[in-house]
Amino acid sequence: MARQKLPPTQTLTMKIDDVDVTAKPGQTIKDVARDHDIIIPGLCYLDGLSIWGGCRLCLVEVEGMNKLLASCSTEVAEGMVVHTDSPKLRAYRKVVIEMLFAERNHVCSVCVSNGGCELQDMAVELGVDHVHLPYMDPDVNLDSSNDRFRLDHNRCIMCTRCVRVCGEIEGAFTKGIGGRGIDVRIINDLNMPWGESQTCTSCGKCVHVCPTGALVEKGTAAAEMDKRRAFLPYLTIMREAQR
Amino acid sequence: MSDKKKPVTIATVWLDGCSGCHMSFLDLDERLVEIAPLIEMVYSPVVDSKEIPKGTDVGIIEGAISNEDDRAKALKMRAACGFLISLGDCAVTGNVPSMRNVFDQKECFDRSYHENAQLQPMDPTVCVPPLLDKVLPVHQVVDVDLYVPGCPPPADAIYYVLSELLAGRQPDPLLLTRFGK
Ligand code: SF4
Ligand code: SF4
Ligand code: SF4
Ligand code: FES
């Protein structure tokens, strides 16, 4: 007799940090962990945007796998045993943060986002009190051509939240990624000054999802830039309600 | 009361920084009176001694390493002190002084001593230590035992760090300060 087709399992059981948890198929490890009040660090993931999986801060250990997996972009499976915190993970995450600081020019004391920056917060959370890697001191520029906003590549961590919000939520597709490797940069349209972009609606969504001082409102002095992130889950909920 | 503990000796230096970290230290206010009997300042911009005594217990460095004099002082501090603290963002990250690192030295000199000079524009050559190519955080030059970021680190953070060390415990400065605090 041919095997009979069973309906898909609706609930998976797995273990996260020695706690037995249940999950729905299709959920990511990060999601399931959060449902159970286990918060995994991350900088590129943002509720309401597609998953990027680029910052690697959310790496976790899964028993039986010989490499670390990005929990924001790995779906759960039946019987999975996940560890979200270990000396090894903490060491990797610290290095990720240190590399972000070393790769561009971060001078918190004079940064408009000082005190309201996710990179800073993450450094504190992960115990980064200095950067042991040599600073690269890249000569990167700053685009002030937009009337209301500024893009400061010195502070960009290439999380691509701005690219995703601009395309997926605003539908403008102004922000993009240009260059490769260490030379990668956020660009506007076909790499033109932001102020000359034909597609940008100046909605400001990119500014408010940006975790750092890379996208800011003009006219803000050191430590003055407050980001309003709460709008995004709201927009997403409203959209889904319309469908 | 006879077995009074020997005070912990402390040396501090001011390298490429604004002196704000030393000011923050003085901002301990009346708490200075509380810790005064427990410490002895053997070398510092705020006391009058010419050499860092060998065998000093704790060394505190404010400021980044920007020139040969800074480098020499950092090496002397490391050699003289048992436990070395990087105090403040300039020492820990390079901070504002390191903003010159994206320019080459000639550009910096032209800007400072020619474009902005009203009288006799010329590069200084005597009585000033040669600049290093790049401004470095202290730990790129000597080993550092404890990092206390902040611009400047709040007096509360400095008090906490000192009192923990005096009590023989390892402080976690990130409880009270961070980059840019
Ligand atoms: S973006 Fe954040 S980490 Fe970078 S300088 Fe500004 S406040 Fe500091
Ligand atoms: S302001 Fe709006 S449209 Fe313009 S780049 Fe940012 S998200 Fe895109
Ligand atoms: S500009 Fe901001 S949101 Fe865009 S990639 Fe850089 S850090 Fe991320
Ligand atoms: S949050 Fe998962 S890779 Fe960035």
d(CA B88, CA B149): 5
Question: How far away, in angstroms, is A144 Cα from ligand 2 center?
Answer: 14
Residue B38 clears pLDDT 50, i.e. is over it: yes
Poorest-pLDDT segment among A5-9, A134-138, B73-77: A5-9
Angle at B153 between CA B152 and CA B159, to 5 degrees: 135
Choose between A236 and A96: higher pLDDT.
A96
Chain centre to alpha carbon of residue B135: 14
Mean pLDDT score across all residues of chain A? 94
In this prediction, residue B164 carries a pLDDT of 97
- B36: which strand partners? none
In this prediction, residue B1 carries a pLDDT of 42
pLDDT in tens, B44-89: 998 999 999 999 999 999 999 999 999 999 999 999 999 999 999 9
Parts of chain A belonging to CATH 3.30.70.20: 109-233
Q: Tell whether B41 is covered by a domain.
A: yes
Residue A235 clears pLDDT 80, i.e. is over it: no
- Going by C-beta distance under 8 Å and a sequence separation of 6 or more, which residues neighbour residue A104? A136, A138, A140, A153, A154, A155, A156, A157
Residue B140 clears pLDDT 80, i.e. is over it: yes
Looking at the partner chain, which of B86, B140, B172 has a beta carbon nearest the beta carbon of A134?
A: B140
Residue pair A170/A231 in contact (Cβ under 8 Å)? The answer is: no
Distances (CA, A) of A104 to A75, B20, B99: 32, 25, 11
User: In chain B, pLDDT over 90 holds for what percent of residues?
Assistant: 90
Helical spans, DSSP H, in chain B: 20-26, 30-35, 68-80, 89-93, 105-109, 155-166
In this prediction, residue B9 carries a pLDDT of 97
Would you call B180 and A129 a contact, using CB atoms and an 8 Å cutoff?
no
Strands B81-87 and B146-148: parallel
Calculate mean pLDDT across residues B166-176: 97
Q: Which residue has the tokens 């300039």?
A: B90
A12-85 belongs to CATH 3.10.20.740: yes
Q: Tell whether B154 is covered by a domain.
A: yes
End-to-end CA gap in chain A: 42
**Residues of A engaging B, defined by a Cβ cutoff of 8 Å:** 101, 105-111, 114-115, 120, 123-124, 127, 129-132, 134-135, 137-139, 223
In chain A, whose CA is at the least distance from the CA of B174?
Answer: A124
d(CA A206, CA A60): 28
CATH code at B153? 3.40.50.700
Burial class (CB in 10 A: 0-12, 13-18, 19+), A85: middle
In this prediction, residue A7 carries a pLDDT of 73
pLDDT in tens, A155-205: 999 999 999 999 999 999 999 999 999 999 999 999 999 999 999 999 999
Q: Which value does ipTM take for this structure?
A: 0.93
Residue pair B123/B109 in contact (Cβ under 8 Å)? The answer is: yes
In this prediction, residue A241 carries a pLDDT of 75
In chain A, whose CA is at the least distance from the CA of B146?
Answer: A129
Burial class (CB in 10 A: 0-12, 13-18, 19+), A43: buried
Residue B98: pLDDT band by 50, 70, 90 thresholds? very high
Q: Tell whether B74 is covered by a domain.
A: yes
The alpha-carbon gap from A144 to the nearest alpha carbon of chain B, in Å, equals 19
* Tokens found for residue A56: 């690697």
For residue A24, the 8-state DSSP code is: -
Chain centre to alpha carbon of residue A191: 22
Distances (CA, A) of A205 to A138, A210, B60: 27, 9, 44
Sign of the torsion formed by the C-alpha atoms of A94, A98, A103 and A109: positive
- A152: which strand partners? A142
The residue whose C-alpha atom lies closest to atom 8 belonging to ligand 3 is A159
Range of the domain at B148: 8-98+131-175
In this prediction, residue A1 carries a pLDDT of 65
Calculate mean pLDDT across residues A38-47: 97
Looking at the partner chain, which of B95, B134, B178 has a beta carbon nearest the beta carbon of A107?
A: B95
Would you call B151 and A131 a contact, using CB atoms and an 8 Å cutoff?
no
Name the pTM for this structure.
Answer: 0.93
In this prediction, residue A9 carries a pLDDT of 64
Q: Tell whether B109 is covered by a domain.
A: no
Residue A221: pLDDT band by 50, 70, 90 thresholds? confident
The domain at A109-233 falls in which architecture?
A: 2-Layer Sandwich (3.30)
Residue A231: pLDDT band by 50, 70, 90 thresholds? confident
Q: Tell whether B124 is covered by a domain.
A: no
Give me the number of domains chain B comprises. Answer: 1
Residue A243: pLDDT band by 50, 70, 90 thresholds? low
Beta strands in chain A (DSSP E): 12-16, 19-23, 59-62, 69-70, 81-83, 142-143, 149-152, 175-178, 185-188, 215-217
Ligand 3 near A215 CB (within 6 A): yes
In this prediction, residue A8 carries a pLDDT of 65
Parts of chain A belonging to CATH 3.10.20.740: 12-85
